[in-house]
Amino acid sequence: MDKTLIVTNDFPPRPGGIQAFLHNMALRVDPAQLVVYASTWKRGAEGAAATAAFDAEQPFTVVRDRTTMLLPTPGSPGGRPGCCGSTAARPSGSAPRPRSV
């Protein structure tokens, strides 16, 4: 079965309409088949604690990038094309390819 990957800057606990929409959409997908890759909402201990608490309550996997904003870049480390300049959690070559949404 295909996995779904949601990559977004707009995911709770950051407040907003898009954030609520994406969270509700994620809750409708089989949690075993979903990974959400999102930026970190706030820096600092309070923001990290709120984000970690929210992520732990989710039935699906949430991976947070260290940055507060994911930005497109022409390439990623290693010279391969990528979406972000960050070196945070990158899938291994053996990981299943997610379907596009």
Q: Does residue 77 have a cis peptide bond before it, meaning omega lies within 30 degrees of 0?
A: no
Domains of the chain, with CATH numbers?
1-101 (3.40.50.2000)
For the beta sheet containing 34-38, the strands, ordered from the edge strand earlier in sequence to the opposite edge, are 4-8, 34-38, 61-64
pLDDT in tens, 28-80: 999 999 999 999 988 788 888 899 999 999 999 999 998 889 988 776 555 44
**How far is residue 101's CA from residue 21's CA, in Å, rounded to a whole number?**
14
Residues in the chain: 101
pLDDT single digits (tens) 86-98 = 444 544 444 555 5
